[in-house]
A and B are shown apart, each in its own frame.
Chain A
Amino acid sequence: MPILTLRGVSAAYDHHTVLSGVTFALQEGDTLAIVGPNGSGKSTLAKAILGLLPLQSGSISWGEGISPRQIGYLAQQTQIQKDFPASVQEVVLSGRLNHLGRRPFFSREDRRAAQKNMVRLGIDALAKRSYRDLSGGQQQRVLLARALCATEKLLLLDEPATGLDPLVTAELYQLIDSLKKEKGLSIIMVTHDIAYAVSSATKLLHLEEKPLFFGTPEEYRRSELGRRFLGGESHA
């Protein structure tokens, strides 16, 4: 039983169709890496899955027990966030917003969940620190903790390693891998890092405005496209 099924999804951004004919199904526990060159519609697809963009055609359906409102979304950082005065705790807690319903304030349970995720990502000591004073890697952990607060099932990571140095990137990848094992999370990840995609994903989608490949990393490595793309970017 797939948790997420896309059928012929097309989406537009600023009135330009940048994505068409995307069809795939994601099983529980899958890690899907979405790869492709810049401007190939990777982030657009992520936004379409999240319901942030209206679909031009096609459909997205969700499996039982998961709603599109319960995706842990790790977005690319915005300019506004970089100098935003908010404590780590406030940012992480805001991930529980989808649990609020009609209540105006967070419950003790919400606070406990936030605390648990901060401990899990090793940022509980930073709880009172200001988000804007943290390093890029720490900020990314904070946003990941917030994403975990929002979901039990599915993380969607949009270029999680952007702007991080290689060492911090490796740490972040380790963290994501261990979360996956521990919590049985499914993951959708938009990434430039083809080497990581091939090594850690169970499914791989190569986009260049339309899907050119969908399958396992093994199959991708053997395919013409995969050989070209992997060969061309082996230095990255």
Chain B
Amino acid sequence: MLELFADLFSYSFMSRAMIVGVLVALCSALLGVSLVLKRYSMIGDGLSHVGFGALSVAVAMNVAPLQVSIPVVVIAAFLLLRINSDSRIKGDAAIALISSSALAIGVIVTSLTTGLNADVHNYLFGSILAMSESDVVLSISLSVLVLLLFIVFYHRLFAVTFDESFARATGTRCSVYNMLLALLTAITIVVGMRIMGAMLISSLVIFPALTSMRVCRSFRGVILCSAVISVLCFFLGMFASYVFSTPAGASVVVVNLAAFLLFSLVGKCRRA
């Protein structure tokens, strides 16, 4: 077992993917709780598709992918938030519209320039080979920034998530914190997308939150539990992917699914 771990980390690309992946898993778990509770889960999904579009265009134009996709996805996040706060049903449809359009544009741009090849596959479903040295530095700094901001604004984010009108009535500027949430989510998704894939990254946001909500009773409990679950599932998924030669992103998602089912069962038994 230990040898297997040593083996795993002997590849530099693998340890890079592990470091960034763990940080992304942590960030997305924390943000996911608020997103799921605020009924913003779809925004995460929409953003990852926009991220794919931006990434393909960046590659086609031969510029650094992260530096292009982060601003594009952040803008898309603000836009989606605006749409969502106007009206719920319209918002749902608008997100589907934006995400499929971004996906389509991405696919067309890629097929016209480099052709639909392994690269596209990697963007869609992730690759542990995706991270270069400079990507890792940027990813780590962004993740640490997300974590710090989340901790500093923890109580305000809770209040805004639980009851926006009460928070606003007592002088909290909710739109600022909703924007902060969207910004942090956008950054997390872009950073994590390379490893997990555009199609799969949103599960990292949604699964840990839903899983821990089956069992935990307090907000802090849910937050801490999702952080642990998310990191653990990421480890197990990567490990499984190495041992069974399965795709990394997909393996992480399947491990998350298993955890969700397990916790649902535990939650049901407890209530019964």
Is there contact, CB below 8 Å, between B155 and A100?
A: yes
Q: Does B4 contact A (CB under 8 A)?
A: no
Q: Nearest CB to that of A132 among chain B residues?
A: B217
Q: B213, A85: Cβ atoms under 8 Å? A: yes
Q: Are A105 and B155 in contact (CB under 8 A)?
A: yes
Which among B37, B151, B169, B216 is the interface contact of A73 at CB below 8 angstroms? Answer: B169
B218 and A86 contacting across the interface, CB-CB below 8 Å = yes
B217 touches A80 (CB 8 A): no
On whether the beta carbons of B163 and A75 are closer than 8 Å, the reply is yes
The answer to the question of A81 belonging to the interface, with a C-beta cut-off of 8 Å to chain B, is yes
- Residues in chain A near residue B219, CB distance under 8 A: 84-87, 90
> B167: which A residues are within 8 A, CB to CB?
94, 97
Q: Which residue of B lies closest to A91 (CB)?
A: B162
Cβ of A83 to closest chain B Cβ, rounded Å: 9
A59 within 8 A of B: no
Q: How far, in angstroms, from A87 to B217 measured CA to CA in the complex? A: 6
A86 x B166 contact (CB < 8 A): no
Q: Number of contacts between A and B (CB, 8 Å)?
A: 98
- Name the B residues within 8 Å of A98 (CB-CB): 170-172
Hey, what's the 0/1 contact readout for A37-81 against B, CB within 8 Å counting as 1? 000000000010011100000000000000011110101001011
Instruction: Check B169 against A87 for contact (C-beta < 8 Å).
Output: no
Query: Which residues of the partner chain B approach A147 to less than 8 Å between Cβ atoms?
Result: 166
Q: Give the chain A neighbours of B165 by CB distance below 8 A.
A: 47, 50, 52, 73, 75, 78
Flag whether B158 is at the interface (Cβ < 8 A): yes
By a CB distance below 8 angstroms, the chain B residues around A13 are: none
Chain A residues whose C-beta falls within 8 Å of the C-beta of B153 in the assembled complex: 104
Name the distance in Å between B220's Cβ and chain A's nearest Cβ: 7
Check if B82 is an interface residue, CB within 8 A of chain A: no
CA distance A100 to B152 in the complex (A): 12
Instruction: State the Cβ distance, A114 to closest chain B Cβ, in Å.
Output: 12
Q: A217 contacts which chain B residues (CB < 8 A)? A: none
Mask, A78-121, CB within 8 Å of B = 1, is 10110011110111011101101000111000000000000000
Residues of A within 8 A of B217 (CB): 85, 87, 128-130, 133
- Hey, what's the 0/1 contact readout for B67-89 against A, CB within 8 Å counting as 1? 00000000000000000000000
Q: What are 28 contact pairs spanning A and B, CB under 8 A?
A: A50-B165, A52-B168, A52-B169, A68-B171, A71-B170, A73-B165, A73-B166, A73-B170, A75-B163, A80-B37, A80-B38, A84-B37, A84-B219, A85-B216, A86-B218, A87-B219, A90-B218, A90-B219, A94-B159, A94-B162, A97-B159, A98-B172, A100-B155, A128-B217, A129-B217, A130-B217, A150-B170, A156-B169
A86-B158, A128-B217, A130-B217 are known contacts; what are 20 more A-B pairs with Cβ within 8 Å?
A50-B165, A50-B168, A52-B168, A71-B170, A73-B165, A78-B165, A85-B37, A85-B217, A85-B219, A86-B218, A87-B217, A90-B218, A95-B170, A97-B155, A97-B171, A98-B171, A104-B154, A133-B217, A147-B166, A156-B169
Chain A residues near B (Cβ < 8 Å): 47, 50-52, 68-71, 73, 75, 78, 80-81, 84-87, 89-91, 93-95, 97-98, 100, 104-106, 128-130, 133, 146-147, 150, 156
Nearest 4 pairs between A and B by C-beta? A69-B171, A130-B217, A87-B218, A98-B170
